[in-house]
Amino acid sequence: MAPCAHSSSSPLLTSKEEEKYADVKWDELEFALVPTDYMYVAKYKQGESFSEGEIVPYGDISISPCAGILNYGQGLFEGLKAYRTEDGRITLFRPEENALRMQIGADRLCMTPPSPDQFVEAVKQTVLANNKWVPPPGKGALYIRPLLIGTGAILGVASAPEYTFLIYTSPVGNYHKASSGLNLKVDDKHRRAHSGGTGGVKSCTNYSPVLKSLVEAKSSGFSDVLFLDAATGKNIEEISTCNIFILKGNIVSTPPTSGTILPGITRKTISELARDIGYQVQERDVSIDELLEAEEVFCTGTAMVLKAVDTVTFDDKNIKYKTGEEALSTKLHLMLTNIQTGVVENNKGWMVDISS
Ligand SMILES: *Cc1c(COP(=O)(O)O)cnc(C)c1O
């Protein structure tokens, strides 16, 4: 159990309300694992289709030392959130988008994915089984982590004979502790992805290679790393776990999803919201020079939602950007969180009510 998981009672909740909540200090939630009661597990065996899947107690799983995921990294993950609304409903944000992204990733890694319907249904079941762990309105969200991993034994490099589709959850608060903007370091040495590689899918193999860069940057006081394209080293791509936008005048620009950056669902959503309020949104190569001359920079991803960038450091240059009340990033953040938490009615079909 994470240290913040226990509290004798929460002064904010009446005793009746307390019964519907797990014993968590909701005001102290971070982006860290707080194990919940249940997880979902389904298996696929070569030549068969995905098993129906079941909700089982959350806990360790047993796999062969020769499993495809352990030896060759054959695995994908997803990330989405469930929210509790003021009127007591539990909702998901665009879960079918995660289901579709898993299909594309599975194809790239030669795995058979669960159908999009099974994916969304499994997410619903997992959240409902853990509904005590969905934070009270405004206190955070239940982060949902689906995995599709090669669990069958395979000695030579090949696709594993068995895959496991597993979903676990954890209540989470803010991804970055500081409430101020991000201080990004441009990494001109390591590359995250290359043309023809797996940068465009949520392959487990994409994340440990960025750790060296991330650890170095964090030890020098930066919040995260911004990677450049491998082909030219002149264009910005994305951060270790989120997408990037720049603002100049009336134009919001973000790098294109041509295989080296992850096609973020938050990225797609924010592009649409920015267009709705009259900004021109361009998906195109964005050079490091343009980044340095932008008025605002911000990042998007499920875990952090939308975060303004305060400074970017590249070589000996340190650029400061507009943040705060008047910034577009603040406006877009509010638009999106109001939709996600149910404060504002959403007419785009983005919120899926799973409590009824
Ligand atoms: C998950 C992820 C994102 C953000 O995608 P969302 O769908 O918005 O959560 C961006 N970049 C990388 C590398 C990621 O892994």
Pick the range with the lowest mean pLDDT from 100-109, 119-128, 177-186, 292-301.
177-186
Q: Is the CB of 299 under 6 A from ligand 1?
A: no
Question: DSSP characters for 158-207?
Answer: S--SEEEEEEEEEEE-BSSS-SS-EEEEEESS--S--TTSSTTTTBGGGT
Residue 315 and residue 191 share a domain: yes
Q: How many domains does the chain have?
A: 2
The model's confidence at residue 340, banded by pLDDT at 50, 70 and 90, is very high
Q: Would you call 202 a catalytic residue per the annotation?
A: yes
The model's confidence at residue 16, banded by pLDDT at 50, 70 and 90, is low
Closest CA to 21 of 29, 32, 9: 9
User: Is 3 a residue whose pLDDT tops 50?
Assistant: no
Q: What would the mean pLDDT of 140-167 be, rounded to a whole number? A: 97
Q: Is the CB of 237 under 6 A from ligand 1?
A: no
Alpha helices in the chain (DSSP H): 15-19, 68-72, 95-108, 116-129, 211-219, 265-276, 288-293, 328-340
User: If phi over 0 gives left and psi between -120 and 50 gives alpha, with beta otherwise, what is residue 249?
Assistant: left
Query: Residue 94: inside a domain, yes or no?
Result: yes
Residue 90 and residue 37 share a domain: yes
User: Is 8 a residue whose pLDDT tops 90?
Assistant: no
Q: Is the CB of 262 under 6 A from ligand 1?
A: yes
- Averaged confidence pLDDT in the chain: 93
User: Is 311 a residue whose pLDDT tops 50?
Assistant: yes
Both tokens of 208, joined, read 């440990």
Q: What would the mean pLDDT of 274-286 be, rounded to a whole number? A: 98
Residue 168 and residue 36 share a domain: yes
Residue 316 and residue 240 share a domain: yes
The model's confidence at residue 305, banded by pLDDT at 50, 70 and 90, is very high
Q: What pLDDT does 17 receive?
A: 57
Residue 168 and residue 20 share a domain: yes
Residue 276 and residue 159 share a domain: no
pLDDT in tens, 227-247: 999 999 999 999 999 999 999
- Domain with 138 in it: what CATH number? 3.30.470.10
The model's confidence at residue 261, banded by pLDDT at 50, 70 and 90, is very high
Query: Which residue out of 185, 202, 307, 322 is catalytically annotated?
Result: 202
- Whose alpha carbon is nearest atom 14 of ligand 1? 241
Q: What pLDDT does 6 receive?
A: 43
Pick the range with the lowest mean pLDDT from 39-53, 101-115, 206-220.
39-53
Residue 257 and residue 141 share a domain: no
Q: What pLDDT does 5 receive?
A: 43
- Domain with 204 in it: what CATH number? 3.20.10.10
User: Is 15 a residue whose pLDDT tops 90?
Assistant: no
Residue 204 domain boundaries: 182-340
User: Is 18 a residue whose pLDDT tops 70?
Assistant: no
Which of 210, 227, 262, 269 is the pocket-test mutation for ligand 1 (most atoms within 8 Å of CB)?
262
Number of C-beta neighbours around residue 158 at 10 A: 12
Q: What would the mean pLDDT of 86-111 be, rounded to a whole number? A: 97
**Spacing, Cα 15 to ligand 1 middle (Å):** 38
Which of 214, 239, 243, 270 is the pocket-test mutation for ligand 1 (most atoms within 8 Å of CB)?
243
Residue 224 and residue 142 share a domain: no
The model's confidence at residue 175, banded by pLDDT at 50, 70 and 90, is low
Residue 104 and residue 194 share a domain: no
Q: What would the mean pLDDT of 158-176 be, rounded to a whole number? A: 92
Q: Is the CB of 301 under 6 A from ligand 1?
A: yes
Higher pLDDT, 327 or 15: 327
